[in-house]
Chains A and B, each alone.
Chain A
Amino acid sequence: MIKKLTAEELKALLGELRQKFLVIAPFRVKQGRLTKVLYQPVKSEDQLSSIYLKEQPDASPKEYFLPRDDRLGEETAGADCQPEEWSDYPRLFLGVRSCDIAGIELFDDVFTENDFVDPFYQQRRDNSLIIGYSCQEPADNSFCQEVGINPLENENVPLMLYDAGEGFYLKVQDQDVLKRFEMLDMIEELPEVESSELEEIVRENRKNFSENEFSLERGLPFPEKEAFTSVDWEEATASCLGCGVCTFYCPTCFCFKFFWEEIEKNRAWDSCMFSLFTAHASGHNPRETQDQRWRQRLLHKFSYHPTNYQGSPGCVGCGRCVSKCPVNLDIRRVLDRVEKTLAGEGVKGNES
């Protein structure tokens, strides 16, 4: 089912949805010398006109699912402590691109896996409805297609929004979810169009995604032992300063640390790029140097994660780690080095 709506109609729809949801959408925000695009809650009707979908947001909506500071309840409450402090008010995320949708799917794999369900994550996830957004052109330094992500279409969200220049198309992909959130009627009221109209737009936009200069030749996962030992990691990552920017901005990096504030347990973002991440109480640190930390970050995404999750990559190719890095250290260059080294060593590539 494909619906067509003007910018005004989209605004009206969002206004109506605000009655049911906390709408979270990308806005342009000035931060010191930077102008960024960030997901922020829509606090008033007027703000709907300032929603900015044209560029890839500077950060994925990660912090809405795994907050930087996550209070997990008081220790004395015992093992059954529920995440009672938060509101279960439903949230609607507007304009999430394929890369960031894939990032959330990766969290689903990790945090709602079989017997290891994280109730804090799950509650936030169950309360969230995502409206995807079709990219019109590649973001700076992105390589999503190289990790198997389609920037133009995404089947894994109930609704997908397409910018048609003059107005928008809304593709309904999962009516059950819309029913659960009691919003199917609202969508069904909109005028329906033939799918060929939308297909034409997607075909046009696809032309903007020409062949990437960078390509991943090898299937995933990378062979762990060979990559671990044969690559000159120091040479490939010499310029790394050791900050946590790449991991904090990564839509898939989820590592955290626990700490207590008096009797309250907290979890906060951590980063494998920090030396303290692996420091033992004895003083020994199994990852003593920065290149070893880089090796961990890259192999987690391209070897360990795909090994544990049916070949699915731990990187969504959004390019933020490259754009945000203070020294512009490019993960594509390091991947290229790994692939070339592995090819030279004659390690057999897995079928992709």
Chain B
Amino acid sequence: MANSYKEITKELQEIAAEVFAEHEIKHLVGFGRGEFSGLTEPVFLKNPEEAERLIFQDDAAPMLSKYLLKYKPDLQAVVAKPCDSRALAYYISEGKISRDNLVIIGINGCPGIEGNTACQECDTRNPVIADYTVGEEMSQQELEAELEGVKYLLEDMTPAERKEHYSREFSRCTQCYACRDACPVCYCDHCYVESNQPEWLEEGSSADKDMIFHLMRTMHMPGRCVNCGACEMACPEGIEMRSMTTHLYHRAKELYNYRPGISPEQPTLFSDFDKEDSEPGFL
């Protein structure tokens, strides 16, 4: 069963104190309550006295894994939702960060994030890697029962219908790049949209250019997107951002039984091909 936010919060605070006692960490990245806003925000705890600031709530949407890349190679502790743990496993499998530099506090039986449609089709409710865990594990049986009959976003649409849906949704884009910046696997030091020599994405924000941005971002996603929904949660225009990436996620799963970040040892999708692999194209 999914654990309660309250129970997870309580256990997190206890374990945080332990983590500080047992490891020489730079900081513990977790969620806390905004001093003036009361909203859940990422916090960087420096000492055990701050442990009681840790919380976990249904609006803890940001992916904390992203911050670890900013402060590597220092030893850092992190509170990891199961999707976050997959992003971390993916980083390790790509050699982006060393496992030795991470202390992972995983959340078992994650109760999900309010408004995040990715949580409804989530196939990872326990962390894939962790040094400490909070909450009861959710059994595979229970997970399968919850996913029974669940369709992913736009699953039943034809490519033509999907294209129409994309054009409508992405026309609201303002190119603020919140989706890219919230995405745990959008970690390039130099994103193509910031390149002006050559200029991959022309200046300006017409519907066509907005679409080019999203298509190019999506092209970088197969075999990497962990289907966490952070892009969609970050979008201030309410664009159904996952409608493209979740399709790639599920196609890779169906065709190659591949799910990104399921273990740190797993080869990446494109480095593990076989000449017998089916090649039906992604759309």
Chain A interface residues toward B at CB < 8 A: 31-34, 36, 68-69, 141, 213-214, 235, 238-239, 241-245, 248-249, 257, 259, 261, 266, 268-269, 271, 274-276, 279, 322, 324, 326-330, 332-333, 336
Contact = CB atoms under 8 A, between A and B. Distances in A.
B37 A330 contact: yes
Given A32-B238, A248-B174, A239 B42 contact: yes
B177 A326 contact: no
Give the interface size bracket for B toward A. Answer: 35 or more
B74 to A, nearest CB: 13
B40 A245 contact: no
Nearest to B61: A326
Interface string B162-178: 00000001001011111
Contacts of B178: 241, 243-245, 326
A257 B205 CA distance: 12
Interface in B25-48: 34-37, 39-44
Nearest to B35: A333
Given A243-B176, A274-B194, A326-B181, A261 B204 contact: yes
B202 to A, nearest CB: 8
Interface of B: 34-37, 39-44, 61-62, 66-67, 115, 117, 169, 172, 174-178, 180-182, 194, 196, 202-206, 232-240
B172 A31 contact: yes
Contact of B66 (A34, A241, A249): A241
A330 B238 contact: no
B238 A214 contact: no
A246 B177 CA distance: 11
Contacts of B176: 243-245, 248, 271
A59 B204 CA distance: 20
Contacts of A276: 194, 196
B34 A328 contact: yes
Contacts of A266: 203-204
Contact of A330 (B34, B66, B177): B34
B181 A330 contact: no
A327 B62 contact: yes
A274 B174 contact: no
Contact of B35 (A235, A275, A330): A330
B244 to A, nearest CB: 13
26 contacts: A31-B239, A32-B237, A68-B205, A141-B37, A213-B36, A239-B41, A241-B66, A241-B182, A242-B177, A243-B178, A243-B234, A244-B175, A249-B236, A257-B203, A271-B176, A279-B194, A322-B34, A326-B236, A328-B34, A328-B37, A328-B40, A328-B41, A330-B36, A333-B34, A333-B36, A336-B35
Nearest to B46: A235
A271 B174 CA distance: 12
Nearest to B231: A326
Contacts of A324: 236
Contacts of A268: 203-205
B115 A33 contact: yes
B56 to A, nearest CB: 15
Contact of B42 (A31, A214, A327): A327
